[in-house]
């Protein structure tokens, strides 16, 4: 097989990652009509000045194996309405339109930002750090500044 045909048979991707700090909310198992069930959550990401914090909500499918373990571990804390803050990496975000079905906005159109929660770097419950499993290290040596 020539180099050119090998290169054309390999898949290429464009990665879009969002990293930040936010509140973990609405941990749930989604059971679609078609396909397998999956773990989902909402992350309310903090942005702006610490004096005037703004929030952006991401509705996420929990995709990373380590992230799934961590979210399942934190699910009871979220259900107990404790303050759960995480450092996160979300990938492949996209907007999705929906119609409010109840409340003051019933019948109005809204937008949800969807994504895949890949990684949780740290977690705090009510301000106390939680020990998390460390992600598996790659076999490649890290570069060291001299």
In a domain, 61, yes or no: yes
- Average of pLDDT values for 1-8? 52
pLDDT at 140: 43
Question: Is residue 137 pLDDT above 80, yes or no?
Answer: no
In a domain, 7, yes or no: no
In a domain, 4, yes or no: no
Question: Is residue 146 pLDDT above 50, yes or no?
Answer: no
pLDDT per residue over 57-73, tens digit each? 999 999 989 999 999 99
Supply the pTM of this predicted model: 0.80
In a domain, 1, yes or no: no
Q: With contact defined as beta carbons under 8 Å apart, do 56 and 112 qualify?
A: no
In a domain, 138, yes or no: no
pLDDT at 85: 98
Supply the CATH number for residue 43's domain: 2.40.50.140
Could you tell me the CA-to-CA distances from 105 to 28, 57, 58, 95, 96 in Å, in that order?
Answer: 24, 17, 19, 19, 17
Q: With contact defined as beta carbons under 8 Å apart, do 63 and 39 qualify?
A: no
pLDDT at 132: 85
In a domain, 55, yes or no: yes
Q: Name the residue range of residue 77's domain.
A: 15-128
14 versus 136: which is more confidently predicted? 14
Residue 76's H or E segment, with its range, is: helix 65-79
In a domain, 31, yes or no: yes
- Average of pLDDT values for 5-30? 85
Could you tell me the CA-to-CA distances from 70 to 14, 42, 45, 77 in Å, in that order?
Answer: 27, 14, 18, 11
Q: How many folded domains does the chain comprise?
A: 1
pLDDT at 135: 64
9 versus 78: which is more confidently predicted? 78
pLDDT at 79: 96
Question: Is residue 94 pLDDT above 90, yes or no?
Answer: yes
In a domain, 121, yes or no: yes
pLDDT band at 136 (very low <50, low <70, confident <90, very high): low
- Average of pLDDT values for 7-18? 78
């Amino acid at each position: 097989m020539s180099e050119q045909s090998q290169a054309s048979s390999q898949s290429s991707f464009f990665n879009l990652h969002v990293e930040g700090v936010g509140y973990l909310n609405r941990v749930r198992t989604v059971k679609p009509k078609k396909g397998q069930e999956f773990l989902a959550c909402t992350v309310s990401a903090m942005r702006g000045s610490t004096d005037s914090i703004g929030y952006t909500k991401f509705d996420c499918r929990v995709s990373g194996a380590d992230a799934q373990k961590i979210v399942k571990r934190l699910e009871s804390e979220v259900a107990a309405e404790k303050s759960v803050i995480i450092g996160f990496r979300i990938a492949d975000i996209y907007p999705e339109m929906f119609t409010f079905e109840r409340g003051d906005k019933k019948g109005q159109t809204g937008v949800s930002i969807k994504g895949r929660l890949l990684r949780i770097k740290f977690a705090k419950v009510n301000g106390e750090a939680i020990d998390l499993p460390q992600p598996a290290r790659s076999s490649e040596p890290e570069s060291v500044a001299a």
